[in-house]
Amino acid sequence: MADIDYFKTINDTHGHALGDKVLQQVMRELSKNLRSKDTLIRWGGDEILIVLPSIKLDSALKMADRLRTVIESCKFQRIEEVTMSFGVVTWKKKELKTSVLRKADEQLYLAKANGRNCIFTDSVP
């Protein structure tokens, strides 16, 4: 799960029209950098769910860092810098979807609470 850092501030400062453009550009950039079998979903507000099937945790963490770096290096209209925070978890067989989403959200919360523009996971690669 990922989140655009300070997205509410972007909307409040520059307006929702520009916020929507930022969100659309972020989604395009993320999509361009995912594998064809990966799934990108706007989960709500500025939260984005990224499903990476058949991938080991260390590779998922590398992917998250690559996506984080891609967004950080993008140029956005009238916005000096856009960054993202990530909560990365693995989905174990027989684990409920709600449990996985809760764990991902917890890790995302930790990433935001620890300075943003970073990645947190509940597992050891």
Q: Which value, in Å, is the radius of gyration of the alpha carbons in the chain?
A: 14
H/E segment holding residue 43? strand 39-44
Q: What are phi and psi of 98, to 5 degrees?
A: -65, -35
H/E segment holding residue 50? strand 47-51
Q: What are phi and psi of 37, to 5 degrees?
A: -90, -5
List the catalytic residues: 46
**Which of 39, 45, 31 lies closest to 91 in space, CA to CA?**
39
